[in-house]
Amino acid sequence: MKLKESRILITGGSSGIGKAAAVLLSQSGAKIAITGRDKEKLNKVAGETGALAIHADASDEKDIVKTFEIIKKELGGLDCLINNAGIGEFPEVENLTAEAFLKVYSVNVFGAALMAKHAAEIFKKQNYGNIINIASTAALKGFARGTIYSSSKFALRGMTECWQAELRPFNIRVMLVNPSEVTTAFANTERKERQDVPNKLTGVEIAHTIKSILEMDDRGMIPEVTVWATNPFEKK
């Protein structure tokens, strides 16, 4: 797709990977809208990138409906949804609670699905569109204390395959990006960005991945891409 003048909605665009994608895609001439729960953080990034700020919780259906109303009014339509907002909880098996499952699944699974529902409605009508789901290497392999997070990302990966099967006949590309560890504010209770480490990924590498798979001519689509740090083992 041509990024210039395209309309892209990024959930969780106020920090980390979403913010890096908002910066890079707006530099490429796309019109960006970002969502987030922390209004101050969201408005700051909107000011820095020129993105449209939509104060909305991606796990709240009313906010999701409001998001799409704003998109239609302010951007006049949509060419790409990036389901990026995501959270994690990492209890040991014996400490699992239904509440913790629900908290994570409401964003990573139900929220992403409802966002896709509204985007698909627009995309099917225009017989064109793009959905990028940001999953994780945790969608490919489980790990200790990953019951909730990893299973939520396995679910997102599974939904991606379902939407690919369903939406390809409408020229809608559904693509999955699996980052390995990225030094963001993810899972930081104070919501502070982690310090950049030379041998670990930053949001910029994931943003480049998103930009590359979007930029491919619409006749082709990359169903899934995984991004590793080349050598995260060696301490620099």
Ligand X SMILES: NC(=O)c1ccc[n+]([C@@H]2O[C@H](COP(=O)([O-])OP(=O)(O)OC[C@H]3O[C@@H](n4cnc5c(N)ncnc54)[C@H](OP(=O)(O)O)[C@@H]3O)[C@@H](O)[C@H]2O)c1
The site for ligand X (CB under 6 A) is made up of 11-12, 14-18, 35-38, 41, 57-59, 84-87, 107, 134, 136, 179, 181-182, 184-186, 191, 203
Whether 149 sits among the annotated catalytic residues: the reply is yes
The least distance separating ligand X from the CB of residue 102, rounded to whole angstroms, comes to: 13
Nearer to ligand X, 102 or 127 (CB): 102
The least distance separating ligand X from the CB of residue 217, rounded to whole angstroms, comes to: 27
Nearer to ligand X, 20 or 120 (CB): 20
Nearer to ligand X, 84 or 151 (CB): 84
The least distance separating ligand X from the CB of residue 194, rounded to whole angstroms, comes to: 8
* CB of 17 closer than 8 Å to CB of 178: no
Question: Which one is catalytic: 68, 105, 123, 149?
Answer: 149
Nearer to ligand X, 14 or 130 (CB): 14
The least distance separating ligand X from the CB of residue 172, rounded to whole angstroms, comes to: 21
Catalytic residues: 149
